[in-house]
Structure 1
Amino acid sequence: MELFQVALPLIGVIIGSLLTGLGTYIQAKLERKRTIALALTDLLEIRHHISGIEVIFEAMHKRFDIPAEASLILQTLIEQMSPLNNDVHKRYDNAISLLAGLDPMLAFHLRSKNTLPNLLATIRSITESAGLSKDDIVQIESTLRLSLAPHLDEAVIELAGRHSLNTKRKVKKLISNSKEMPPELDDIFNQLKNIGMLSEQSAQ
């Protein structure tokens, strides 16, 4: 009995330490998950902006005979009508900086994954200044999107997987569905055709 009374405070200290350690672990895990969610949200928005433009132009080029010059004008118009908020980049960079304190390797891998839109804009500016033809500029941008977009998809899926398996499943489904043209775009295409901006391809 005396031994138990002597050991009781020690047992209490041990249990208290275990509970404190468990609480700290759970808090750190929740904070990591929250930081990943912040970065994932902004990276998804960036990806949606890039892939949305690509889906629209792929559908337009399949359906209409669009000159390269008109293609660049339309692309610029669409980007101006639905610009990517610069705050998205700031929030993403801040989230990655926070993530670096929790998972430095993951943060290193995801750093600068949000720069693709700015990269494409810079490439367009350089190619135009270099005097390349409109056809060449369109081809270069298309090639860059096709080669770089899959890497962005991989980063999004990896980040979603670090959040949870359920989030990863939802993100993969979102990416798959985002490659399909929304039905409402048909109305826009028809309006463009009616005002004479675009001509239907002879094969269709």
Structure 2
Amino acid sequence: MNKLVKGAVATAVGAALLMGGAGTFAYWNDSVGITGGTIVAGNLSVVDATPSDGVWTVQKDGTGTATTVPAIASFVASPGDRFTYTKTVKINATGNNLVATLALTPGSIAAVTPATAANTALASYLTSTASISATGTGISAGSVAGTYNVTAGAAGVTSRDVTLTVVINFPKSTTAGFENNTKLGSVNLSGLAVTLNQQ
């Protein structure tokens, strides 16, 4: 074989190798649609159902007849009083596997500023006794005291009314003077709130 032919063969082989290495040859392939549908996210929200204030009642020594308190800010509390606040909220919980927990928001009972020793002591004392209960469709007591489970509503259900009851006790100790550090104290309840968290 002469040099010219040898050179042509070498060039052709080299070109073929380069073409194969670069993936220039077409391979058969195909695809088919497997319609999966649509994923739709649900919702979890809680809103004030009645923008006006709820209803405050108070019981002397926690056992007497509950008396409605039209203006809680003007009521002067003393040890032994039990305050109950009732309010309706709307909960939207939509999701096939959705479960949420409803609870009183930490810090709902705050010392009035400036945070004097008496204000701080009263806020701490009342916070330690505060509890919440909730009634309505899809509401059940949670595994942790003071919490409630909220299960999802049926598809298309936008909201459900849930009645919240917050109880705040001002205990009267059997030890004389035990509550003295709360005298003239003041707390702010305007931040009273509930929190809804997905489990």
Instruction: Tell me the TM-score range normalised by the shorter chain.
Output: under 0.3
User: Larger strand proportion, structure 1 or 2?
Assistant: 2
| TM-score of the aligned structures, taking structure 2 as reference length | 0.20
User: Larger helix proportion, structure 1 or 2?
Assistant: 1
Question: Radius of gyration: which is bigger?
Answer: 2
**Whose RCO is larger (CA < 8 A, sep 6+)?**
1
